[in-house]
Structure 1
Amino acid sequence: MNRIISEISPDFLIQGLGLHQDENQIYIGKVGGKEVQLLPSIDNWKSDEKDLRIFSVGFAEASHNFRPGDVLMTGSDDLLDRAFQAMDEMEQRGVVVSLVPSQDSTHLYISKEQMDPFVQEWRSRKLSYLCLWMVDPVESEGQAKLVTILRKVIL
């Protein structure tokens, strides 16, 4: 099962991935035969499933390290590799970031306090996860890029 959490209005994901509401008012669908579920918020997150892949999408503010249009990401190695492949094909710049400040100047840090406990839990449970943050502004072209990256990684 692929679960997607969005911190921005999920309309672009619903349309871009062809999702529909089930009887519990949760958006579901299939991407290339793989089941996808869109969670309304990270607060609804509870799962003991083992065969689970988690995707989180959102936005980040531009800074001296990040340019508008960059895709920032953190995740498990398997999904990061797939995301890099997808972005290479699209000629999209992708930057791996850390949610924890580091003394190592090669590690780029992004402040996402509300995501950090979830990412730590996913890491400790050895789940496959990928967080993608588009650097502002997140306009329709940026949303389309996020959908394309997600589609390629899910497939």
Structure 2
Amino acid sequence: MNRLISEISSDVLIQGFGLHEDERKVFIGKVGGQEIQLLPDFHNLDLDAKELKILFLGLAEASHQFRPGDVLMTGSDDLLDRAFQVMDDIEQRCIVVTLSPDQDSTHLYFSNETLEPLVQEWKQRKVSFLCLWMVAPQELEGQAKLVTILRKIILKDS
């Protein structure tokens, strides 16, 4: 089951993934046979669920390291490999980042104090996860592009 958590508008995700509200008031759907569930936050995340994949979408500010339209990403090796393939296919500039300043000198540091402890726990528990941020997106166009990228990553598993 894919669990989607996002900083971008849930309306964009509901439309982009064709999600519908179930009896528990949770948005769910399928992408290429893969179940997806939109969670409002990190609090109800069951890390012991079978075949769990955590997908996070967010937005980032432009800086001297990151330019508008870049996609920043961090994740488990399986989903990062899939993301690289998708980014190559659509010729999207992407940058692997680390959320811990002194962790890996081959990756650029991206400060996200809310997500950093969660990512460390996911790595420790060997959970499959992918975090994507678009740098200074052009309103809904950039958010829609993130949804398209994520759809392609999910479909690579089908």
Task: Give the TM-score band, short-chain normalised.
Answer: over 0.9
- 1:111 — aligned with what? 111
Aligned equivalents of 1:65 and 1:47: distance in 2? Answer: 33
Residue 132 of structure 2 corresponds to 132
Query: 1:144 Cα deviation (Å)?
Result: 1.7
Q: Deviations over 1:74-105 (max 9, x none)?
A: 00011011111111111110100000002865
Give the SS at the match of 2:122.
Answer: helix
Q: Which amino acid aligns with 2:56?
A: S
Residue in structure 1 matched with residue 33 of structure 2 by the alignment: 33
> Where does 1:3-152 land on structure 2 (aligned, <5 Å)?
3-102=3-102, 105-152=105-152
SS in 2 for 1:42: coil
Single out whichever of 83-92 and 133-142 deviates more from structure 2: 133-142
Alpha carbons of structure 1 residues 36 and 103: separation in structure 2 relative to 1, 3 Å: closer
Taking structure 2 as the reference length, the TM-score comes to: 0.92
Change (3 A) 1:15 1:104: closer
Instruction: Report SS of the residue matched to 1:101.
Output: coil
Read off the aligned partner of 2:58 and give its amino acid letter. Answer: G
Question: Aligned partners of 1:51 and 1:104: how far apart in 2?
Answer: 27
Shift of 1:118: 1.1
The alignment yields a C-alpha RMSD, in angstroms, of: 1.4
Separation in structure 1 between the aligned mates of residue 136 and residue 85 of structure 2, nearest angstrom = 23
- SS of structure 2 residue aligned to 1:44: coil
Q: Is the 8 A contact 1:7 1:41 kept in 2?
A: no
Given that 2:19 and 2:30 are in contact with CA atoms closer than 8 Å, whether structure 1 keeps it comes out as yes
Name the amino acid aligned to 1:96. Answer: V
1:116-143 CA distance string (max 9 Å, x none): 1111111111111000001113522211
SS at match of 1:37: strand
Deviates more, 1:12-21 or 1:39-48: 39-48
Structure 2 unaligned regions, length at least 5: none
